[in-house]
Each structure stands twice: as structure tokens, then as C-alpha cells.
Amino acid sequence: MSDLAGKKVLLGVCGGISAYKVAELARLLVKAGADVKVMMTESGQKFVTPLTFRTLTGNPVATTLWSDPGSPFPHISMSDEADLIVVAPATANIIAKMAGGIADDLLSTTLLAARGTVIVAPAMNTRMYLNPATRNNMRRIGEMGAIIVEGCEGELACRTEGAGRMAEPAEIMSAIERELSLSADLDSRRILVTAGPTREYIDPVRFLSNPSTGMMGYAVAERAARRGARVTLISGPVDVPCPAGVTLISVVSAAEMLTSVLENLEGSEVLVMAAAVADYTPVEKSASKMKKTGGVPELKFEATDDILKAVAPRKDGRIVVGFAAETDDVVANARKKLAEKKLDLIVANKVGEAGSGFGSTTDLAAVVSVDDPDPALVLVSKTELADLLLDRIRGLFT
Ligand code: CTP
């Protein structure tokens, strides 16, 4: 039996063609020892019958608020008894209902009544997925604590390619296993995380920056908070929702990030510098917009302060972690930074390759310390990488 023996999982199945893949997810969960109850929306039942899930799970399938004479409140009893709720496929509609607190059927009412963790696996047409209303709703449910497991771009049922495809059952299964085996092993540890790019303004409308999306730093903040840590996240401008329970400090420039890190260092036991801090900033910042009539500007840059180097003399027993995004000699270059910046750990990360680096949900990466023999880079999701890093950090506490 796996980790899931005896765990109770409530699976909410909505109306999307990938509902057929959720039958496979139910099978994987049952095989791993979980007790799986399924709740289906009306449209969910148009794609897969309740009998399929009844057969796979051995449990009756709930379809309406009114069907169970044994329990007049199935939305309360079923959410109370579940260790975890998983909504898959999660349509734009159920995500909107979750974001807006709408309770007009069994699943939406159950989700509104739920106290525990909810994993959401979105699946919809690309245009619906990219619609600002859906983006806002996804951001909102993320802020409210839902874990969103997104799939890679790919072929959709509507014969188009793009975002909105549901994550594969194995990926959703990994997220479930991670969540259910999670312990509060970082209980009350005070962790400071930086994330995202910085912007170095040239004039009020132009800046020097980089493609960092903040996903890595936000994943570290989110996982640390879920593992019980008290997390402060200092972030450059990004489009990622602040994880539930995390204190967010927004900054723009490298200089602001430095000031904020130094201000918050005192109260922290760990610093994780996942931000992609600009190395250069313009010497002069024009107060008004530079006009083309002034000709092509000749810009002069100066180096920004290296935040990790500024932190090194103030380490004072703190665990300090850096990231090294490298195109070549990834581990060797990371080791140099580990030594130069007096770090306890560094995440060596390959950039410039599909499936790794800026904007990717996965990374080809390794966590390296001075004592480690050279590790091989492994392809992991940013969430898995965050957990691997936090495992190493936890090891340094003991
Ligand atoms: N970093 C920092 N302050 C800076 C620049 C980078 O603290 N001004 C941190 C990053 O957050 C990261 C680590 O240093 O944790 C390595 O960043 P990276 O950009 O890979 O390295 P650099 O030191 O800038 O070296 P290079 O750009 O030459 O590779």
C-alpha cells in the first residue's frame, strides 16, 4: 500500500471531455489505497456515467443535494469526512463559482462548505482559459488557498492546440500524494523568500528587466507556508497570485529589493533568493518620458548591489539559499556562486532549453551544497523542486 492507505479523497467531476481521464485518476487513487467518493455535476454525468465511478471506487456516487435519505446535508458531511477534495476536470464555470462563492448544486455547495485543502485541475478551451474573467477567478481561488494543477499546452478536444488542457492523471496524482503526505515539518520557521524580476526604469515608461515570472519563488513560498512556515515573500512585478497565508511585500527595482531584504532579514531564519535581480541599472533615470526627437539615447549603466553578497556578512547563523540560472556548465557555475556568495545551498537550474527556466512549469535542476558530489540535473515541476529544496533546508535545522 502507498502513502494513501486510509486517506479519504472526494473527487468532484465536472462537465468536460477530460472527465474520462478522471476515471483513470479514480483508479490510481483506489490502487494507492485511498477511499474515494465521487461527486458529479449534471454536465459531468453527460461525459461519464456515475456507474463508471461507482464501479471503480466501490462507493455510491453523489449527484444532487437531495438524493441521500441517510444524510440531509451531504454537502457538509462529504466535505467534512474528506482529507482532500479534488476537482477534475475543473471547468471555467466551477472555478467561477468557487471564486464567487456561488452554491447552486451539490459540488459548488460542498466546495463553499469545505474547510480543508482543494486541488483544482482546470480543463477548458484555450480562449475560455485565457479570458481575463477566468484568469481572475483562478487567481482568486489560488489566493483563497486552492492548489491549482495546470496541464501543459497541447491538443484540445476542440481540435485546437494551446493552454487549458487538463494535467495528466499521474500529475494530479503526484499533487494529491504530495498534499496528503505533507507534514508541518517547517512549523513556525520564519522564511524570507524573494521572487520575480526587478525593473530598472530608464524613464517613466521604459525599463530593463528579464523574463522571470516569479513561479519558482512563489512555489517555494507556497510550499513553505503549507509545511507550517511563517513566510514573507518579497516580489518584483509578476502576475502570480500571492499564496494563502503568505505575507507579500511588493517591490520594483533591485535597490528596493535590497532594502526590503535587509529590513526583513532580522526576523528570518532562512533566506531563499529566487528573484532574478537585475545586475545593471541606468546611471540616470529621466524624470520625464524621453522623446524620439531627442535622438537615440546613449544609456550608461552601473552595477546594482548584489543582495546575497550584502547579506553574507550578516548571515548570523541563518540559512541562505541562492539560485543559479545557467545556460552552460550549470553545476560548476552554480558551485562558483555558492562559494562567492557564501551560501548554504544553491539551486542549479538550466535555462535556454524547452521545459526548464523562465516561464516553464518544470525545471532541469539540482540542489547543491558544498559537500555534495556533483549531482545530475533532474526534470521536476517547480512545486516538486520547491519541496526538494525545503527538504534540504529542513535537514540543515537539525
Ligand atoms: N542575486 C542577488 N543580487 C543581485 C543579483 C543576483 O542577490 N544583484 C542573486 C539571485 O537572486 C540568485 C543568485 O544571486 O539567487 C545568482 O543570480 P544570477 O543572476 O544567476 O547570478 P549573478 O551573480 O548575477 O551572476 P551572472 O549574471 O554573472 O551569472
Per residue in 277-323, pLDDT (tens digit) is 999 999 999 999 999 888 898 999 999 999 999 999 999 999 999 99
Could you give the residue ranges of the DSSP H alpha helices within the chain? 19-31, 44-47, 50-57, 74-81, 92-100, 106-113, 126-130, 132-143, 169-180, 215-226, 254-265, 307-311, 330-340, 382-397
Q: Tell the residue nearest (CA) to atom 17 of ligand 1.
A: 324
The answer to which of 31-35, 161-165, 315-319 has the lowest mean pLDDT is: 161-165
Residue 353, phi then psi, degrees to nearest 5: -135, 140
Say if residue 130's pLDDT is above 60.
Answer: yes
Taking a C-beta distance cutoff of 8 angstroms, is the pair 368, 345 a contact? Answer: yes
pLDDT tops 70 at residue 156: no
What integer best gives the mean pLDDT of the chain? 92
Give yes or no for a contact between 316 and 349, defined as CB atoms under 8 angstroms apart. Answer: no
Q: What percent of the chain has pLDDT over 70?
A: 95
Going from the Cα of 330 to the center of ligand 1, the distance in angstroms, rounded, reads: 14
Domains defined for the chain, CATH in brackets: 8-180 (3.40.50.1950), 190-397 (3.40.50.10300)
Sign of CA dihedral 276, 257, 369, 187: negative
Q: Which of 209, 323, 358 to mutate to test the pocket of ligand 1 (most atoms within 8 A of CB)?
A: 323
Report how far apart, in Å, the C-alpha atoms of 277 and of each of 198, 203, 249, 314, 326 are: 5, 19, 15, 20, 14
The one-letter code for the residue type at 348 is A
- Is 158 annotated as catalytic? yes
Q: What is the pLDDT of residues 237-272, one digit of tens each?
A: 999 888 888 999 999 999 999 999 999 999 999 999
Q: Which atom of ligand 1 is nearest to the CA of 309?
A: 7
Q: What is the mean pLDDT of residues 177-202?
A: 91
Q: What is the pLDDT of residue 85?
A: 97
Distance from chain centroid for Cα 355: 16
Q: Is residue 137 a contact partner of residue 94, using CB atoms and an 8 Å limit?
A: no
Q: Is 337 in the pocket of ligand 1 (CB under 6 A)?
A: yes
Cell numbers 532562512 correspond to 270
48-to-88, 137, 233 alpha-carbon distances in Å: 13, 26, 42
CB 216 near ligand 1, within 6 Å: no
Q: Phi, psi (5° rounding) for residue 286?
A: -70, 130
Residue 241 is given by DSSP the state: P
Identify which has the larger pLDDT, 132 or 73: 132
What is the model's pLDDT at position 1? 45
